[in-house]
Amino acid sequence: MLSNKKKYIVSGNSGIKAQIQFADQKQEFNKRPTKIGRRSLSRSISQSSTDSYSSDSSDDETSPRDKQQKNSKGSSDFCVKNIKQAEFGRREIEIAEQEMPALMALRKRAQGEKPLAGAKIVGCTHITAQTAVLMETLGALGAQCRWAACNIYSTLNEVAAALAESGFPVFAWKGESEDDFWWCIDRCVNVEGWQPNMILDDGGDLTHWIYKKYPNMFKKIKGIVEESVTGVHRLYQLSKAGKLCVPAMNVNDSVTKQKFDNLYCCRESILDGLKRTTDMMFGGKQVVVCGYGEVGKGCCAALKAMGSIVYVTEIDPICALQACMDGFRLVKLNEVIRQVDIVITCTGNKNVVTREHLDRMKNSCIVCNMGHSNTEIDVASLRTPELTWERVRSQVDHVIWPDGKRIVLLAEGRLLNLSCSTVPTFVLSITATTQALALIELYNAPEGRYKQDVYLLPKKMDEYVASLHLPTFDAHLTELTDEQAKYLGLNKNGPFKPNYYRY
């Protein structure tokens, strides 16, 4: 809004010409606020954006671990930011249910049978409204659940409160410390009189903690379901070393996860995360995306559509050729690091962006990560005395060099979309349904069907997950005739593609 010192004059004969005259040409719009002013503004923004429903600022400063909270049933077997936020969280869960048709369908079909009766599931995932729908669906299918967060920034406090109010032992809040993170996982696992028999993991931290601290628990665990690139990589390492104690289901590489959550979800959420944190305009910006897997493909497509100039780095010649054929310039990071406006990592690897790269970036370069783990950007190398960290708003930091150059670091190098924005519920419905079916499959599998190894979800289940979501679009599948099915050598009801088919 223009101040009262500005005067509008509108005139013209054949057309309308608008002039805006500024009475005071010396208005100092570009003058930076003082250091004190910046800090106070950052503090107020950070508090309001991380906890929308908090009514007591002093309460915010108390660690949830130091609070004595009970839900309306008198249970204190949880640790969340503020149990009083439960009503707000319940509304968010109800909104999410509208966009998660497959999970709601599973609930209806489970009214008679309870395929997870007796299952005791310990979970470590992002705690969002969508995860809440999954947890409550698992409960409807007969399971008992205990849950922690797989990311210190992605928990929605009000949703965690709603789950705790409903009787789910949830241990998570937004802005946990590293110590809090492992404490929460331990509170889920180390419970007197409660032994988990299934693991649902996102990133492998829960599996790692049990393996490290409570290895004997694996004697009663029937299986692990893992949904991230990072976690799956860790499982394959255990399997290769002969140390995987139980069967594991690799949900990440199922078609319904790879093609929908990784590709379509990131295609939308990358823009949302960058907009919310930086208010930037994408047109004409130079961006380098490190990695051209499904996540990288989604990010590149979205940024290209918005008019950005996109470069790609890749180690795999097949993915690299795909990037070239899609119209992206394949480069080494060193070649473009001085000129790009945004750096996005999507590799699942470590030290993709090093201190050397960070030193060479231009002023105000935005640096963020879309991979699961926080290892892709060497953030630890930035925590040195010569660099100044300045909090701008929640999940946004300026890291300032001695010469005044600064970069904009988002979510301290952790997962951007779930730390700084939200992701499309419908896509998460696909992933959550895949997770639920994987849990059902491993829990009910007869002894001997699955060895101590890592498996992909059966093709038939992938197709079933997709079919549950088609009614949302009023979509009508074509059915094979007997003659057509015989010609193709297929069952009329699927699976329709061999396991080696690449979608």
DSSP 405-432: -EEEEEGGGSBHHHHHS---HHHHHHHH
pLDDT of residue 28: 37
Does residue 225 surpass a pLDDT of 50? yes
pLDDT of residue 62: 85
pLDDT (average), residues 423-441:
92
Does residue 392 surpass a pLDDT of 90? yes
pLDDT (average), residues 181-210:
95
Could you tell me what percent of the chain has a pLDDT over 70?
A: 88
Residue 262: pLDDT band by 50, 70, 90 thresholds? confident
pLDDT (average), residues 438-445:
95
pLDDT (average), residues 21-34:
38
pLDDT of residue 454: 95
Does residue 10 surpass a pLDDT of 90? no
Does residue 3 surpass a pLDDT of 90? no
Residue 2: pLDDT band by 50, 70, 90 thresholds? very low
CB-CB neighbours of 225 under 10 Å? 28
pLDDT of residue 30: 40
pLDDT of residue 13: 43
Residue 162: pLDDT band by 50, 70, 90 thresholds? very high
**Ramachandran class of 31: left when φ > 0, alpha when ψ lies in -120 to 50, beta otherwise:** beta
Does residue 42 surpass a pLDDT of 80? no
- Give the mean pLDDT of the chain: 87
For the ranges 110-114, 124-128, 443-447, the lowest mean pLDDT is seen at 110-114
- Whole-angstrom distance, CA of residue 179 vs CA of residue 185: 10
Does residue 6 surpass a pLDDT of 60? no
pLDDT (average), residues 29-50:
36
Does residue 219 surpass a pLDDT of 70? yes
- Binding-site residues for NAD(+): 293-298, 314, 417
Residue 489: pLDDT band by 50, 70, 90 thresholds? very high
For the ranges 339-353, 417-431, 441-455, the lowest mean pLDDT is seen at 417-431
Does residue 457 surpass a pLDDT of 90? no
pLDDT of residue 259: 84
Does residue 14 surpass a pLDDT of 80? no
Do 353 and 376 meet the contact criterion of CB atoms below 8 Å apart? yes
Do 416 and 273 meet the contact criterion of CB atoms below 8 Å apart? yes
User: Which one-letter amino acid corresponds to residue 117?
Assistant: A
CA angle 476–482–486, rounded 5-degree value: 115
- Binding-site residues for substrate: 128, 202, 227, 257, 261
- Edge-first strand order for the sheet with 223-226 is 170-171, 144-149, 120-125, 198-201, 223-226, 248-250, 454-456
Residue 261: pLDDT band by 50, 70, 90 thresholds? confident
pLDDT of residue 60: 60
User: Which one-letter amino acid corresponds to residue 8?
Assistant: Y
Higher pLDDT, 111 or 314: 314
Does residue 211 surpass a pLDDT of 50? yes
Do 71 and 78 meet the contact criterion of CB atoms below 8 Å apart? yes
For the ranges 57-66, 122-131, 212-221, 327-336, the lowest mean pLDDT is seen at 57-66
Tokens coding 1: 């809004």
- Binding-site residues: 128, 202, 227, 257, 261, 293-298, 314, 417
The whole-model pTM stands at 0.78
Indicate the DSSP class of residue 402.
T
HEC assignment per residue over 223-282: EEEECCHHHHHHHHHHHHCCCCCCCEEECCCCHHHHHHHHHHHHHHHHHHHHHHHHCCCC
pLDDT of residue 367: 98
Give pLDDT tens digits for 355-373. 999 999 999 999 999 987 7
- Whole-angstrom distance, CA of residue 469 vs CA of residue 260: 12
pLDDT (average), residues 278-282:
94
For the ranges 1-15, 91-105, 461-475, the lowest mean pLDDT is seen at 1-15
pLDDT of residue 36: 38
